[in-house]
Structure 1
Amino acid sequence: MKVDPRVLLVGPRGRRLCLDIAGSAIEGDSSHAAEEYRLAVGYAAYDLDPGRGTSRVMFSFGGGELVTPHPSPADVARLLDLLPLVEPDEGTLLRGLMAAVDFARYWQEPDGEDVLAAAPEMREALARVAASVAQCPVASWWTTPLDLAAQWAVTLMEGPSPPTAVTGTTRELLAHWHSATVEDEARARRERPRDPRASLSGTWWSTPPAELTRTTRSLGELGPVGLWLVEDAFNWDRATARHVSAPHDVTVYEVEGPEAWAELCRRYPLEVTASRRHDWYRTTGIDARWVIPDWSRVAEDFDAVHVTALGYLTTAGRAVAVAAAEDMYTVLAGWNPDQTYWLTDSTAPASVEQTWRRNDRDSAWSQSAS
């Protein structure tokens, strides 16, 4: 199934993808128009960034006062409209996805580039980029359901020591997760202020427990998606990838977009308002009742939950209405594109294992012999 270009601009991660691909499309273009656009994006994003002048600063290397232009989103959009675009290739799309994932943050306000891409004028200009992405055959896997035959579990490592092995059955891990989440919410309700603008942070993700088996598909010579697309990533330099097999009769819940995520929360709601309020207010600007799926209950009906790449791009980081009449919302946070969480012990690692290393020069992953 092809990507619908219209949905690429409904969520912050899809818009960031398109903004990055627009920049990639003019890499190497030394024309005045391309340079003007690049500078305008940088200056506009700086002006719109909530950390302007503090966590994000500009320096003058010539001495004296730094004088910069202040292009508006409309100015940037007009410059983008003047630039020719080429159809992105697989590498460009992967880099665009990496940018969309790398700059996702659910514990603070969106950065300047996300704010810029969300401006109405920019969304109109980025529609042309979204259309070029949607036409790419190499983006076809973004909409496909879980590929049972090509699932890989990636273990990312920094330094020589492998991570500590996880013990316990899936049922035990989910029961512990449920108890800890309920306790965290009760504690936050007692101790945290109601004002969503209070400077507090805590639990911001909406994933099942990280100790569960997590897999993504393989991209051929590029390796598993889980090597490249990881939210809140660290400087991992080594990884192992192990092929994972599962019975063909497993039941899988597919998150293909915001409505599928909302429906999962409607069917298995677990309220986390007090523990998520401050973080999710900052990232969405909405003060509401917040829920996530109760994964211990989801596991009673499904063996796995898979978020497609397009589901991620259209859903992650948004305040998704679960029950608008009850002012109830949710956020897909902490997931990665094409990621599957397994809620069963029926999966088994196969004998095929790969070792991967990250290149310091360009941060690309390549398979190694050991």
Structure 2
Amino acid sequence: MNNTTSLADLLMRGPRGRRLLLEYAIASDRLHDPEYREDSFNAGVFLASYHLDPGKGTSVQLIGDVGAEIQEVTPAEVAARLETVALAEVTPELLRDCVAESVGSARYWQEADGNDVLAATVEMQAPLRRVAEHVAASVHAEWWGEPVAECSQWQVEWDDAPPHEIMTDPMALLRKVRDQIIEEELAAKRERPSDVTANWSGMWWSRPPWELPSTTRALFDGSPAGLWFVEDSLGYEQADTRRLGIPAGLRIFEIDTAQAWAELCARFPIEVTAQKRHDWYRTTGRDGAWVSPDWAKVAEHYDAVHLQVQAYLSAAGTAIPVDEQAATVIAGWDPDQTFWFTPNVRYIDDPLRWVLEENGERTDWVRQENQP
């Protein structure tokens, strides 16, 4: 199997990858035909996703005449319209924007939204495959499967958010968090219902502790990926970024596939069934035992863990089997993000300030002009 086919397969495999492809098709349709037409692909996506959304009529509503009948468009009709969409030229900016849209729509504490449901329908698989092969053939997507870029790693510090600092003893934090997870699991077994459909939510993420330094690479325009690719964003509009110096010889675990994540969980498991079963059932539909990595144990063997973009797109938000009984979920971890477990890294250079500015009909992260 060649690299193009392999990446196309990965993009079709996960909800974030399929959402990326849907966003790419939406952007292509808008670029070629910016006027709204009722028979367009974009109009079809809008209406079909509304009717497929689990929150239809409650958390998701269309503004219009009260009592007016809202046109129904089936996934088959949307798929037929997609077949006629001329796919836009692949550019770094367009790919970045589509990945950002996919990442920003991830949610692991409730059911998938209408666009994710639409992209997962049987009818949409063949036309989305055309988009996947178009994207995967581009050199601009090659870095999605690359290991951590040690020469260009940037920490994002959001305004008014607690800062991240390099710790002299990160293991102390990791052991403390592990003890908290164990205590939470025991409490959840006692206090929370075992019925996965119960209206209950908790800590749905599986990434390492946020207090640790975490970085992403610089993109084509010099902006860190961590400014753009943010799950569960709080809507920050300003940030400082700091470059991290990485010494040679560090042991970095690369999460390049769902299997790599499953391996990490199999080697260093910690049970989280009772505390995550409700959220992870809603996002995956699976009822069963759940595990996450024990990051304190991982840190005994590795200095960092890096989530490659292709692994995120193919596996985030899915139930990943670990063994015959347990599964796991990649949740709350942004694509290309590396968490550092070692004190042997250093911030270098002065912080750079970025602001979110309107640019026509879109917004972009722009480096402040008074920065050197």
TM-score grouping bracket, smaller chain normalisation: over 0.9
Q: Identify if the C-alpha distance between structure 1 residues 214 and 165 changes in structure 2 by more than 3 Å, giving closer, same or farther.
A: closer
Partner of 2:219: 219
Q: Secondary structure at the match of 1:249?
A: coil
Q: TM-score w.r.t. structure 1 length?
A: 0.94
Q: Identify if the C-alpha distance between structure 1 residues 283 and 162 changes in structure 2 by more than 3 Å, giving closer, same or farther.
A: closer
How far is 1:222 from its partner? 4.1
Assess if the C-alpha contact under 8 Å between 1:256 and 1:311 holds in 2: yes
Distance in structure 2 (CA, Å) of the matches to 1:267 and 1:64: 56
How far is 1:182 from its partner? 0.7
Trace 1:37-186 onto structure 2 (pairs within 5 A).
37-60=41-64, 63=65, 65-157=67-159, 161=160, 163-164=162-163, 169-186=169-186
Root mean square deviation of aligned Cα = 1.8
Residue 154 of structure 1 aligns to which amino acid in structure 2?
V
Distance in structure 1 (CA, Å) of the matches to 2:15 and 2:161: 34
> How many residue pairs align between the two structures?
363
Assess if the C-alpha contact under 8 Å between 2:354 and 2:367 holds in 1: yes
Assess if the C-alpha contact under 8 Å between 2:164 and 2:211 holds in 1: no
- 1:16 and 2:5 correspond: no
Residue 348 of structure 1 aligns to which amino acid in structure 2?
R
Assess if the C-alpha contact under 8 Å between 1:257 and 1:315 holds in 2: yes
Q: Identify if the C-alpha distance between structure 1 residues 347 and 64 changes in structure 2 by more than 3 Å, giving closer, same or farther.
A: closer
Q: Identify if the C-alpha distance between structure 1 residues 344 and 122 changes in structure 2 by more than 3 Å, giving closer, same or farther.
A: same
Distance in structure 1 (CA, Å) of the matches to 2:141 and 2:38: 26
Identity of aligned residues (%): 40
Partner of 1:268: 268
Assess if the C-alpha contact under 8 Å between 1:222 and 1:366 holds in 2: no
- Structure 1: unaligned runs, 5 residues or longer: none
Q: Secondary structure at the match of 2:363?
A: coil
How far is 1:334 from its partner? 0.4
Distance in structure 1 (CA, Å) of the matches to 2:61 and 2:315: 30
- 1:337 and 2:341 correspond: no
Assess if the C-alpha contact under 8 Å between 1:87 and 1:136 holds in 2: no
Distance in structure 1 (CA, Å) of the matches to 2:335 and 2:82: 27
How far is 1:90 from its partner? 1.4
Partner of 1:355: 353
Assess if the C-alpha contact under 8 Å between 2:36 and 2:43 holds in 1: no
Partner of 2:235: 235
Q: Identify if the C-alpha distance between structure 1 residues 293 and 64 changes in structure 2 by more than 3 Å, giving closer, same or farther.
A: closer
Superposition misfits of 4+ residues, deviation over 4 angstroms:
30-35, 164-168
Residue 132 of structure 2 aligns to which amino acid in structure 1?
A
Distance in structure 1 (CA, Å) of the matches to 2:228 and 2:42: 25
Q: Identify if the C-alpha distance between structure 1 residues 165 and 137 changes in structure 2 by more than 3 Å, giving closer, same or farther.
A: closer
How far is 1:218 from its partner? 0.5
How far is 1:169 from its partner? 2.2
